[in-house]
Amino acid sequence: MVERQPSSRTCFLCGRDNPVGLKMVWDNHPEEGEIRCTITVPEHFNGYPGIVHGGIVGAILDETAGRAVLLDGEPDDLMVTAKMEVTYRRPTPTGTPLLVVGRVVGRSEKRAETQGEIRLPDGTVSARATVWLARPPKGILADWEAERQYFRVDSD
């Protein structure tokens, strides 16, 4: 059964109320062990005309791989990125529907290793990342507490 993941209010990637954000929405696909999001990146996020800026590609992969821990978890399971390795295989086009996929490779109580990839409409992978996550420091958790009420699934 496909279940939508909650989104935040202000996040650059998923924030519903962020006027310059990408407003990404992920669905859990437990039978495949992955989360998925379809996104079309606007041209104003280019590095070269028609090509998504590499930093935006990295941010999309970071968020997707980080959210993979929510596939079989709760919002309290969210972690922060400790290390990320990105492989850019092909240019990622703007203005084109892209499938972004995340999965958990390994996990413990305090750490996780996850992966994310961006697929072009023909299934070709344009970029892939391996992300190592860790439990967030107490200060981040304290700041998150005030925003928790806004982390939810909105109806379409």
CA distance 72 to 36: 14
| Helices first, then strands: H and E counts in the chain | 2, 9
Task: Give CA 21 to chain center in angstroms.
Answer: 13
Q: Where do the domains of the chain lie? A: 3-140
CB atoms within 10 A of CB 92: 23
* Phi, psi angles (nearest 5°) of residue 2: -85, 130
Q: What letter would DSSP give residue 17?
A: T
pLDDT surpassing 80 at residue 155: no
Q: Are 151 and 5 in contact (CB under 8 A)?
A: no
Q: Between 124 and 136, where is the model more confident?
A: 124
What are the residues whose beta carbons fall under 8 Å from the beta carbon of 18, sequence distance 6 or more?
A: 9, 10, 11, 12
Q: What residue type is assigned to position 156 of the chain?
A: D
pLDDT of residue 156: 58
Q: How confident is the model over 112-137, as a mean pLDDT?
A: 97
pLDDT at position 82, please? Answer: 97
pLDDT at res. 21? 95
Each residue of 32-86: pLDDT tens digit? 999 999 999 999 999 999 999 999 999 999 999 999 999 987 877 889 999 999 9
In this structure, which topology does domain 3-140 adopt according to CATH?
Answer: Thiol Ester Dehydrase; Chain A (3.10.129)
